[in-house]
Structure 1
Amino acid sequence: MARNLLIVESPGKIKKLQSILGSAWLVAASVGHIRDLPEDRLGVDTGLKPEYLLTTRGKEVAQKLRGLVAQVDKVYLATDPDREGEAISWHLQQVLKPAHYCRMTFSEITQEAVQTALSQTRTIDLNLVHAQEARRVLDRLVGFQVSPVASRLLGQPVSAGRVQSVALRLVVEQEQAIRQFVSVEHYSAQLEFSQAGTAWTADWKLSPDFVSDQNPYFKDKVLAGTVANLRKVQVLASKDGMARRSPPAPFTTSTLQQAASIVLKLDPKKTMKLAQSLYEQGFITYHRTDSPNLSAEAFREISTYALAHKLNPVPSQRFWKAKAGSQEAHEACRPTHIADKVCGSTSEEEALYRLIRIRALASQLEDAEYATRNVLLEALDPVQGKKIQFEAKGRTLVKAGWLVATQKDQTDESDAEPDNPVPLLKTGDLLTADTGRILTKKTKPPSRYTQASLIKKLEAEEIGRPSTYATIMDTLIKRQYVRVAKQFLYAEPLGESLCAALLQKFSFMELPFTREMEHHLDEIASGKNTYATVVGDAHQKLLYELKGLNTSLPQGRVCPACQQATLFSTKSGKGLPYWRCDSCKAAFADQQGQPGDQFGDRKPVALDPAAPLCPTCKKHHLVQATSKQGNPYWRCTGYPKCSAVFGDNQGQPGSAFGSTAKPKPKSAPRKTSATKAKTTRASRTKPTRNDLL
């Protein structure tokens, strides 16, 4: 009999972990969170205490886990090693209530890592739990309290998000900057030389005689042509040197998403899904990380591998400075075994693994080295009495270093100057240019964000967490606030309208405010602040802003159920009109273009006092409808609690088609051809409940 139970998040980890732990253990998965805030209401009381309910899937998982808990002596909660994972462990402990439990974490699924984790178990870190809880509640407060207001402002259902709306703002403002941009045409000149069959160039070095801070662009094309026609120049200075280029850091969650987007054309959501699968199969370390540094063990393994393959590792481990606010709970994302060149169960997984492996390997190899040469030339003939100078820059790779292992992923922005084989020149040398040409340039508008560059911007501004970026991108696109075309993000009209409705009305739309909130959440995690203080202060500010805005909102048809949002006219899947509230999700019948009685088991709202009461339930009202065949009938608005349907008798409710209560027969009678025909005839004239919505 198994004595211990290990609970992880993903079912994909079970097989690997079971093989490591052996038959004395049971391994089960929570399949993520088993509890969450309710879907149909705010779920946060006046004291800001969240209300947690088992999710639909969580009920089944909890029942199964309770049975396993009863079979073992001790439960090990091994959910992911981050705040979200800590919260999941806490929810499991609260629901399952095991007699003996402990918390353990590992960032790679290997024998060594799991055994080390078993020797370093601890209790649940409630500071991390409260930090995750604060984020969840803050997001819920903004979403549920601001979305109805934004919907009333725009006259259509929209949603606001504490971080999502800030990301939308960045896209919208970039779109507006592009729209307002006016291109400026300006000019320069370039001379081309050749020596022993090798061509090289020198560009006009615009001096303060021609440009200034107030007028940074040279716009005289004729004068630029004169400069391009110069041929005789003299060497004023020539300087040789060496330049080194270091490799980029191993992947964090953010840089992994960026690189995969650029190199593999994967959206962030897809990247995280593939990385999760690689992690669960034991091929990479934990991919949700903001640390750019490897563990000492990983460095030793990479160094040994590099020496064996003549790749020249650095003598001592490289380290990178983490971004401000980084948790650095575990190391950067890397292969669990650097010697494994190919891993993954699909071609996409293999491609992502290759990207992760090459980046980790390159990070601990020697710098690339270049021989550089900078030459300053001066024309012998002045132009308009002013000296004209040209500058030639060249470099040659002399030591590949880490470049032998890496591939371009464009997340490292080291300036890579183009090759320009400038020859060895001495001061005072006289040269004659072969040709010259005018360089016509145009200022370019700001580039639209890609998902990769927007993630980079969010991280640079310390907005949100890398683990949430994929969800943010997916939400903006699904709700049609932005669209993707050729990898670029375009702000849609609805997104621009929503952004305009929220800006200068809510503090959470301001980058400094949102950035500061991330710092407060970090303080909760480290025990330097409390849930009550951070969430309480933010909520008070939000209530103040909502109060100031509600007085100027268009009233429209205010939802009778929640009194907070406007009802919207829409159509059911059957094409029948009805009204719904985007805040509390209440639905109302349509009575000649106006909201009628409320559907469901909530308190009925009779906006039409003349409507007859349902004889069956005597609580809800009847409304007239038409079947698919065009036959009039009457139905109860209390559906699904009351599914009574009545015939039409000269514009008034007639006899009932059937009873709400439909007891099941002990044994269903066998249908004959006669009864089938009777049923078919009845279905042609009798409206069904599916006709209603």
Structure 2
Amino acid sequence: MKLLIVESPGKIKKLQGILGAEWRVAASCGHVRDLPNQGYGLEPPDFTLRYTETKPDVLKKLGTLVRDAEEVFLASDPDREGEGIAWHLKDALGLKAYKRVTYTAITPRDVQAGLDSPRDIDMNLVHAQEARRALDRLCGYKVSGPLCRAVREEKMSAGRVQSPAVRLVVERERAIRSFVSTTHFGVELIFEAVENISDGWKACWLPREGWLADGQEYFLDKAVAEKIAALRTLDILSCEEKESRAAPPAPFTTSSLQQAASNALKFKPRDTMAIAQKLYEAGHITYMRTDSPNLSETAIAEIRACADSNGWPLPEKPRTWKSKAGAQEAHEAIRPTHVEVESAGDTPQEKALYALIRIRTLASQLADAVFDVRVARLASDVDGKKAVFEAKGRTLREQGWKVVMAADASLADAEEAEPDNAVPDLKAGCQATAVQGAVKMKKTKPAPRFSEASLIREMEKRGIGRPATYAAIMENIAARAYVKEEKAFLVPTPRGEKLVDALAGAFGFLDLDFTSHMEERLDDVANGNVSYVQCVGAFHAQLMEELGRFVQAYAVPCPACGNREQFRHVYSREKGWNFWGCKACGAIFADDNGRPGLRQEKGAAELTDFLCEKCGKPLQHLQGTKKDGSGQYDFFACSDKACGAKYDNVDGRPVIRKAPALSEHTCKKCGKPLVPRPTKNGGVWFGCSGFPMCKARYWAKDDGSPDYDNPPKH
């Protein structure tokens, strides 16, 4: 029996059908080991990652299968994460003989090609995956604690990539808030019908030609615009005809698929990736995490054959596309595994995404769309100055790649709409008569808020993150309440703005250029040009230097001993903590609007004007944090320790606590009645009513009586 280990259980059925009975396909269900939940899991100078097993049951099952297998093939996904998973499996299962195989589509041809080309695990890719994990762990664990203390808000977290994403949203929102709109004017003339053009044709005034002062961007004089709009006879300066060609869009990368699915199908990025995963596992599309916009030679040949059979126009040579800088091109663009299959998927969402991918793939290899463009320039004098107008018309002559887009208009990328303006064939030196003119009042608008799709596009343009991370970033910044969605647009929350304000200028990872550079360093690790230790060590050194300055900037000295390093604001809404504590001297202070207030020491409480009802001595008001950190205390107690009377604080006044119910049992030590007390797990114990003079305690037996022979330790 041969064993093939993949990541996802969803692939097992398809692969088992391809490979046959002599194979056994099993899944690791993702990573089988990870960094520990507590602690950093790595330390300088070598930053070796300390892993813990996260799926012992899976490893046990795989170990049994490995022992019965003749050969073991590690077929996790063909990316850095998949390479890391393969290495963890090899190490955790103690594999001395294995074959690492990859394929970008689950089809008989692709899977067999992968099996025919086994290799060793690429440790450079593993180190790049580990470096990314280490950088994220250092950033999150080292910075998040000081960040929470600095902004005095719990559960704030810094992220090496997610924080720059939040910064983009915050800066865009602030630009919108500060934007001052400018009202400006344009002019449009409508000319008489020519050559049976019933609706006439339009020309727009070009204020840039002689009407704007140096540095002026918009025309602001409405009165002059009205004079220009009153023109009726204009000289024809020129009329040119030319051809315009539009190439098809490139095949989908991970980023462009998420953007197109958001615009055309209204899918969120995480949903797009989940649906694409299903299509991939079912063998309908190639691997859906890729930076490459190019297709394999085999795929191009199949697409051209499909286009030819449908009579669609083809260019002379197959198309190739220029990848963006830093793209990881280990495998091709996202495409159907069988382009002739028009519909695939089990759900309406899967069918819709498949259709989007298929049409984009087909269009990418078809001929250009060809337009006939006619541009006329006209002019007339106004107050001794020449007002120049332009009339532009465009007519589609050859559909080219648009022939496949026409099958479903919702799948076409949104293009900049151009008005239907059939400009007639005009002759230079003649005149044209306008029948109507209108002043067009316009207002400048700020850049729009980011949608999830446009934020991904901006991140990709700036080199922030990688295809596999975009969907998770969108989900994380929303789940952590740094941004919220309003009418399909992302808006920063006050919490998100507080995050950016605290980190900006303090940490390099929030700088957008730095983030892009770090992605390049990870690529260098993957290519073997930089070692894991060099990459992580450089980041750690800079981070610790920045962290030291950050902590000092927000540090508060202990009022008791002056220590800054070990004096902290301890706050938790869930646990009811809100105090300042010093580990150096042990002093505790109440919080006073974010600063240390009165010192909280049990023995130092001042006497109040209230008198003890039991003995008549003054009461003390005691408040602060319990020693075990389980919450706050606030009550009155008699200043005479021998009396021991305690009172609840009700609206600032002492109210005598009700006497506990006494049992019929007595204390073996002092003879006073015992008081039954409940335990946390629903049991019972007995305490002496003579407390605090007598501190005897007893467990309760099954019959409800005190167990005098086995008292609890206290």
Counterpart of 2:538 in structure 1 is: 537
Q: CA deviation at 1:516?
A: 0.8
Shift of 1:556: 9.3
What CA distance in whole angstroms lies between the structure 1 residues aligned with 2:452 and 2:318?
32
Q: Name 1:35's counterpart in structure 2.
A: 33
Partners of 2:362 and 2:521 lie apart in 1 by 36
- Alignment of 1:369 with 2:370, yes or no, is yes
Q: 2:462 matched to which residue of 1?
A: 461
1:385 aligned partner, one-letter code: G
Partner-residue secondary structure (3-state), 2:553:
coil
Instruction: Tell me, yes or no, if structure 1 residue 114 matches structure 2 residue 111.
Output: yes
Q: Aligned letter for 2:59?
A: A
- Pairwise CA distance, 1:367: 0.7
Contact 1:73 1:100 in 2 (8 A): no
- Range moving further from structure 2, 188-197 or 481-490: 188-197
| Preserved CA contact (<8 Å) 1:240 1:374 | yes
Tell me the residue number matched to 2:501.
500
Aligned length: 614
SS in 1 for 2:401: helix
Question: In 2, are the aligned partners of 1:198 and 1:421 still within 8 Å (CA)?
Answer: no
Give the TM-score taking structure 1 as reference length. Answer: 0.83
Counterparts of 1:239 and 1:150 in 2: how far apart (Å)?
Answer: 63
Q: Does the aligned pair in 2 maintain the 1:556–1:566 contact within 8 Å?
A: no
Does residue 1:448 correspond to 2:440, yes or no? no
Q: Measure, in 1, the Cα distance between the counterparts of 2:324 and 2:479.
A: 30
In 1, the alpha carbon distance for the partners of 2:235 and 2:366 equals 42
2:342 is the alignment partner of 1:341: yes
Cα distance, 1:212 vs. partner?
A: 3.5
- Matched residue, 1:74: 71
1:644/1:73 CA distance change after superposition, 3 Å: farther
Question: Amino acid of the residue matched to residue 151 of structure 1?
Answer: C
Distance, in Å, in 2 between the alignment partners of 1:556 and 1:63 is 53
Alpha-carbon distance, 1:413 to partner: 7.5
- Structure 1 residues 333, 439: CA separation in 2 closer, same or farther (over 3 Å shift)? same
The superposition leaves residues 344-383 of structure 1 with CA deviations (integer Å, 9 ceiling, x where unpaired) of 111111111111111001101111010000000012xx21
Aligned AA for 2:401? W
Q: Is the 8 A contact 1:596 1:607 kept in 2?
A: no
Deviations 1:665-689 (A, max 9, x none): xxxxxxxxxx9xx99xxxxxxxxxx
Kept after mapping to 1: 8 A contact 2:623/2:633: no
Q: 1:189 aligns with which of 181, 187, 192?
A: 187
- The question of whether the paired residues in 2 share the 8 Å contact of 1:262 and 1:452 is answered with yes
Equivalent residues in 2 for 1:467-616 (5 A)? 467-555=468-556, 566-571=569-574, 577=576, 593-597=624-628
Q: 1-side partners of 2:34 and 2:50: how far apart? A: 8
For 2:225 and 2:463, the matched residues in 1 are separated by 44
Match of 2:667 in 1: none
> Alpha-carbon deviations, 1:557-588, whole Å to 9, x = none?
99xxx96974323236xxxx46899xxxxxx9
More moved, 135-144 vs 41-50: 41-50
**1:209 offset after TM fit, Å?**
3.1
| Counterparts of residues 6-25 of structure 1 (less than 5 Å) | 6-25=4-23
Q: What secondary structure, in the 3-state scheme, does the structure 2 residue paired with 1:116 have?
A: helix
1:423-452 deviation digits (Å, cap 9, x = unpaired): 111111211101000010000011101110
Separation in structure 1 between the aligned mates of residue 473 and residue 624 of structure 2, nearest angstrom: 37
The 1:296–1:566 alpha-carbon spacing in structure 2 relative to 1, beyond 3 Å, is: farther
Q: CA deviation at 1:313?
A: 2.5
Instruction: From the superposition, tell whether residues 299 and 441 of structure 1 become closer, same or farther in structure 2 (CA, over 3 Å).
Output: same
Measured in 1, the distance between the counterparts of 2:277 and 2:482 equals 28
- What is the CA-CA distance between 1:215 and the residue it aligns to? 1.6
1:163 and 2:161 correspond: yes
Find the aligned partners of 2:412 and 2:451 in 1 and give their Cα distance. 13
Alpha-carbon distance in structure 2 between the residues aligned to 1:595 and 1:271: 50
Question: Corresponding residue for 2:51?
Answer: 52
Q: What's 1:393 paired with?
A: 392
Structure 1 residues 197-256: Cα deviation after superposition (integer angstroms, max 9, x where no partner): 132100001145321452211111111011001000111000001100011001000000
Contact kept, 8 Å, 1:138 with 1:162, in 2: the verdict is: yes
For 1:8, give the aligned amino acid.
V
Q: Is the 8 A contact 2:624 2:633 kept in 1?
A: no
Equivalence for 1:97: 94
SS of residue paired to 2:68: coil
Q: Who wins on radius of gyration, i.e. which is larger?
A: 2
Distance change in 2, residues 1:656/1:411 (3 Å): farther
Q: Secondary structure at the match of 1:571?
A: coil
Measured after TM superposition, the shift of residue 595 of structure 1 is: 4.9
Q: Give, in whole Å, the separation in 1 of the partners of 2:684 and 2:285.
A: 59
Preserved contact between residue 646 and residue 654 of structure 1 (Cα < 8 Å): no
Q: What pairs up with 1:244-259 in 2 under 5 angstroms?
A: 244-259=245-260
> What value does the CA root-mean-square deviation take over the aligned residues?
3.1
Please say if residues 143 and 161 of structure 1, whose CA atoms lie closer than 8 Å, have aligned partners that are also in contact: yes
AA aligned to 2:525 is I
Whether the 8 Å contact between 2:579 and 2:625 is mirrored in structure 1 is no
> Contact 2:242–2:373 at 8 Å: present in 1 too?
yes
Structure 1 unaligned residues grouped into runs of 5+: 582-587, 600-604, 609-623, 625-629, 660-674, 680-693
Cα separation, 1, equivalents of 2:187 and 2:506 = 50
Shift of 1:44: 1.1
1:135 paired with 2:166, answer no
Partner of 2:59: 62
Q: Give how far 1:62 is off.
A: 0.7
- Cα distance in 1 for residues equivalent to 2:76 and 2:173: 41
**Deviation of 1:654 (Å):** 7.1
Q: Report matched runs for 1:617-656 at 5 Å.
A: 646=685, 655=697
**For the Cα contact (< 8 Å) 2:577–2:629, is it kept in 1?**
no
Offset from partner CA, 1:143-181 (integer Å, 9 cap, x none)? 000111111111012000001000111000000000000
Deviation of 1:548 (Å): 1.4
Q: Shift of the alpha carbon at 1:99?
A: 3.5
Secondary structure of 2:519's aligned partner: helix
Are 1:329 and 2:293 matched, yes or no? no
The change in CA–CA distance for 1:426 and 1:46 in structure 2 (over 3 A counts) is: same
Question: Could you tell me the TM-score, scaled by structure 2's length?
Answer: 0.81
Match of 1:30, as an amino acid?
Answer: S
Structure 1 distance, partners of 2:140, 2:569, is 16
Corresponding residue of 2:427: 426
Query: Aligned letter for 1:164?
Result: Q
Alignment of structure 1 residues 141-180 onto 2, 5 Å: 141-157=138-154, 158-180=156-178
Paired letter, 1:310: G
Letter of the 1:384 partner, please give it. D
1:178 and 1:541 mapped to 2: Cα distance? 33
Local SS of the residue matching 1:551: helix
Q: CA deviation at 1:112?
A: 0.4
Displacement of 1:60 in angstroms is: 1.4
User: What do residues 250-297 of structure 1 show as CA deviations (whole Å, max 9, x unaligned)?
Assistant: 100000000111111111111111101110011100000000011111
Separation (CA, whole Å) in 2 of partners of 1:186 and 1:468: 43
1:258/1:411 contact within 8 Å kept: no
Q: CA offset at residue 541 of structure 1?
A: 0.4
Name the CA distance, whole Å, in 2 between partners of 1:307 and 1:597: 78
> For residues 98 and 550 of structure 1, do their structure 2 counterparts lie closer, same or farther at Cα, with a shift above 3 Å needed?
same
Structure 1 counterpart of 2:52, one-letter code: L
Contact 1:152 1:554 (8 Å CA) reproduced: no
The superposition leaves residues 496-538 of structure 1 with CA deviations (integer Å, 9 ceiling, x where unpaired) of 0110000000011111111111111101100111111111011
- AA aligned to 1:63 is K
CA distance in 1: counterparts of 2:558 and 2:23, whole angstroms: 59
Measured after TM superposition, the shift of residue 66 of structure 1 is 0.5
Q: Tell me if the contact between 1:568 and 1:579 (Cα under 8 Å) persists in the aligned partners.
A: yes
Deviation at 1:658, TM superposition (A): 6.2
- Report if aligned partners of 2:371, 2:395 keep a CA contact under 8 Å in 1: yes
